[in-house]
A and B are shown apart, each in its own frame.
Chain A
Amino acid sequence: MTGDDPKRPPRPGPASIAPSSPELDGIDSSWSVPADALKPQHTASESQRALASTLPPPRVIPAAGLTAVHIGFLDNSGASALELADLHAVRNPSLVAMKLMAEPVRAAPVAIDSIDYMRMLKDKMAMGDFTGALALATGILETEPHNPEAQRYTVHCENVLTQMYTARLGSLSQVVSVQVAAAQVRWLSLDHRAGFLLSLVDGQLTLEQLLDISGMPRLEALRLLHGLYEQQIISVS
């Protein structure tokens, strides 16, 4: 992670990088990341610092020995480690896979008010971090279930992420097969939800059928399947 770049002009505050209109039609639905977003550009807001203070330290998943970094682990520049990880990960799909395996979409803590969250959400949207934006939108909806803006962002993020995972996996009518020997499965880096999905793969069911029978929200199942695919634990044909 890099620190502040003294040559770079100060970045406008989070409010100004958010779309000027709250209407989703005005938001760029592309999920590719702008090149300049690959470096941290802004100083952490008070809200981000507050968010960081509410979160637990990094954790270890013993089954794999993989360290997963939590939202709000701040570097010197103030940009959250998750943002940086996400931005890097979009360029490096295998990292996405590792992170997706380790970190299910989770609601953000509710220690700070929704206006701050909304600002952070828009920041994430602007930087193409739809996973992070969705987590924030979900968190806002937990405390304000009828917040229309959060609802719109949730739908939008879900659509974009669904398109993203689908584009990477290919046609959902492809049949899924396990690529790892049964004896080696336990040494993989998976959580129990990914493990459950993997247990459903029998070489006969299609991606669409797996989504149908997963018993999970479609996006969640798609995200986990995508993770398994990226890790080459499953293949589609």
Chain B
Amino acid sequence: MDRVIGIDLGTTNSCVAILEGDTPTVISNRGGYKTTPSIVAVTEAGKRLVGHIAKRQSITNAENTVYAAKRLIGRKWKSPQVENAIMTCSYTIVEGPHDDVRLKLRNKVYSVPEVSSMVLQEMKLIAEDYLGEPVKKAVVTVPAYFNDNQRQATKDAGAIAGLDVIRIINEPTAAALAFGYGKDLDTSVAVYDLGGGTFDISILEIGAHGVFKVISTTGDTFLGGEDFDARIMDWLVEGFKEETGIDLRQDRMALQRLRDAAEKAKCELSQLQETEVNLPFIISTGRNEALHLQRVLDRATYERLVEDLVERTIDICRQALVDAKLGVKEVEDVILVGGMTRTPVIQAAVSAFFQRTPNRGVHPDEVVALGAAIQGAALVEDRQEMILLDVTPHALGIMTFGSNFEELIPHNTTVPTHRAKIFTTSRDHQTAVKIIVMQGDSAKANENELLGEFILTGLRRAPKGEVEIEVTFEINTDGIVSVSAKDLENGKEQSIQVTASSGLTPDELKNMLTNADQYMVERRTDDKFEGLRQEAETLMEQVEQMFPEIERVVGTADFGRDAISKARAVVSRTREAVTQKDSTALKEQVEQLARTQRMFKGVVARAE
């Protein structure tokens, strides 16, 4: 049976997990970290960097480093979120050919799913390294507020990465699933998710038979751990400026170090009462004088610096409860998600607001990926009691007179489904109606997402309100939405089919898949070469160390001189193969080196 991995594709960090036996487990990356920054960069030499290594150069190579691609995935070019990103992001965002968003790194333009696929590919590799076998299937999590296009774009990213995304699930649902795993719960929970770049609060109902329902979800896509880091950075920069008159913001290298140090200090302050930020040689003065930055930050100062940010999250929690029509006391459990929730000041604020201690049984960095892994295993093992039903993430409906949104299929409706509603004309002698299909949860049509539109003509000329038109929405098991409008008097009908689109055509997707495959082949070749190179270096060192002894033992005989000369030639050819990066030749030389080493060892042993 295929193994299914669960991936929490986060705005700032991603995490991969798998169910081993009955235990969901997070897989560490090569550096030993359980989360990997969702950052992709292209170096000056055109090399692709993903994860921690990309993060460590994100300021010095800001123009070519993409972070928070999730904020852009599946978005239309003219959406307010894209406009905001254009204003705030250091990398270049350009318009795509299908009203979508593209990102320019060095001289190449990438689609957002393509960039996200690089992160997913990294997560896939981490899982494959751990499992020692190829991984093909995944369950990927997305925020509960993602619309169909964003979900489809995430699926496409998975496909480009070589993954069959068998289910997309909501992040709070995944967290609740991990929280409720192995328990028979019937409760209301709040999932407080403060990640690196976004804040989400969701209120869920967990039913007695494994029914997970998101009642309300809200958040701020521009509030996260990075804002907390920025406060520490500002404090450091201002302090340094007061002391020396030098503004460290002017120097990218200094900024990169400051950001890394600020994040480290923030993490340390979750455990310690104070921490020292020590950055020697942070900047040179005009007189080539190298200066050091050294400051002690205590927890109280830090909490004062971030007080308003914490309060903002609480205000959003208040709104989520209003949306859910629940009182604080009706929430029976609070699940904390995201590394930021380890911060004592946040835990205290959440406890105070919800009037209960947040649950400590789940790991905030891992819980979402664990939930995805649990769901993945349930899907392939067909464990019905744990399978989440596919639901519509947002309401579907049409625009009506006065730019109002008339809902036909409410959000969280299980698919497949179909609903119909009868509408009438809004003007006298109206002979045609425009059906504007939308998705969203706002009563105002312009705040929702346009999915498509069509016109039904040939209506009888009659006073307004007299002609009746039946509008039917149908969603099939593949998530394809069909909308039809029928004149109930004359039976005339028009329809439209709406498929979620990531903004990529099938041809584009195919090309990207080919490129991704090619990259993987190159990367595996590089890894293979590196393994061979290390083996070769060790063998060469061992053989070279044996030369004096071999010369002493057999150096006077013709065959001995011949053997030594041949061995030196092997060493030389090995070095050449390493220099030329020729894997085939290197493999051959490693075999010869190994034979040489065995022979030399035999000669020495016989001599003794």
Q: Is the C-beta of B60 less than 8 angstroms from some C-beta in chain A? A: yes
Residues of chain B lying within 8 A (CB to CB) of residue A195 = 280-282, 290
Which of B253, B290, B292, B537 has most A Cβ within 10 Å? B290
Which stretch in A37-45, A55-63, A129-137, A139-147 binds the other chain? A55-63
Chain A stretch 56-78: residues in CB contact (< 8 A) with chain B: 59, 61-64, 68
Find out whether the CB atom of A62 lies under 8 angstroms from the CB atom of B56.
Answer: no
Find out whether the CB atom of A192 lies under 8 angstroms from the CB atom of B290.
Answer: yes
Find out whether the CB atom of A213 lies under 8 angstroms from the CB atom of B53.
Answer: yes
Q: Is the C-beta of B533 less than 8 angstroms from some C-beta in chain A? A: yes
Residues of chain A lying within 8 A (CB to CB) of residue B60 = 213-216
Find out whether the CB atom of A61 lies under 8 angstroms from the CB atom of B256.
Answer: no
Q: How large is the interface on A (under 10, 10 to 19, 20 to 34, 35 or more residues)?
A: 20 to 34
Residues of chain A lying within 8 A (CB to CB) of residue B20 = none
Find out whether the CB atom of A173 lies under 8 angstroms from the CB atom of B533.
Answer: yes
Cα–Cα distance between A198 and B260 once the two chains are bound (Å): 14
Cα–Cα distance between A63 and B281 once the two chains are bound (Å): 8
Residues of chain A lying within 8 A (CB to CB) of residue B282 = 192, 195
Residues of chain B lying within 8 A (CB to CB) of residue A190 = 280-281, 290
Find out whether the CB atom of B44 lies under 8 angstroms from the CB atom of A173.
Answer: no
Cα–Cα distance between A188 and B281 once the two chains are bound (Å): 9
Cα–Cα distance between A196 and B256 once the two chains are bound (Å): 9
Find out whether the CB atom of B252 lies under 8 angstroms from the CB atom of A192.
Answer: no
Cα–Cα distance between A185 and B279 once the two chains are bound (Å): 10
Residues of chain A lying within 8 A (CB to CB) of residue B433 = none
Cα–Cα distance between A91 and B434 once the two chains are bound (Å): 85
Contact of B279 among A64, A199, A204 (CB under 8 A): A199
Q: Is the C-beta of A90 less than 8 angstroms from some C-beta in chain B? A: no
Cα–Cα distance between A196 and B248 once the two chains are bound (Å): 13
Q: Is the C-beta of B257 less than 8 angstroms from some C-beta in chain A? A: yes
Chain A stretch 204-221: residues in CB contact (< 8 A) with chain B: 204-205, 209, 212-216, 218
Contact of A214 among B57, B257, B291, B537 (CB under 8 A): B57
Q: Is the C-beta of A81 less than 8 angstroms from some C-beta in chain B? A: no
Chain B stretch 406-425: residues in CB contact (< 8 A) with chain A: none
Cα–Cα distance between A195 and B533 once the two chains are bound (Å): 31
| Nearest-CB residue, chain B, relative to A182 | B278
B181 to chain A, nearest CB (A): 33
Find out whether the CB atom of A218 lies under 8 angstroms from the CB atom of B288.
Answer: no
Cα–Cα distance between A216 and B283 once the two chains are bound (Å): 15
B265 to chain A, nearest CB (A): 14
Find out whether the CB atom of A61 lies under 8 angstroms from the CB atom of B289.
Answer: yes
Which of A63, A171, A192, A194 has most B Cβ within 10 Å? A192
Q: Is the C-beta of B125 less than 8 angstroms from some C-beta in chain A? A: no
Residues of chain A lying within 8 A (CB to CB) of residue B278 = 182, 186
Q: Which positions in A face B, CB cutoff 8 Å?
A: 59, 61-64, 68, 171, 173, 182, 185-186, 188, 190-196, 198-200, 204-205, 209, 212-216, 218
A61-B289, A62-B289, A213-B61 known; 15 new pairs, CB 8 Å cut-off, are: A63-B281, A68-B288, A173-B530, A173-B534, A186-B281, A186-B292, A190-B280, A191-B281, A191-B284, A191-B288, A192-B291, A196-B254, A212-B57, A213-B53, A215-B252
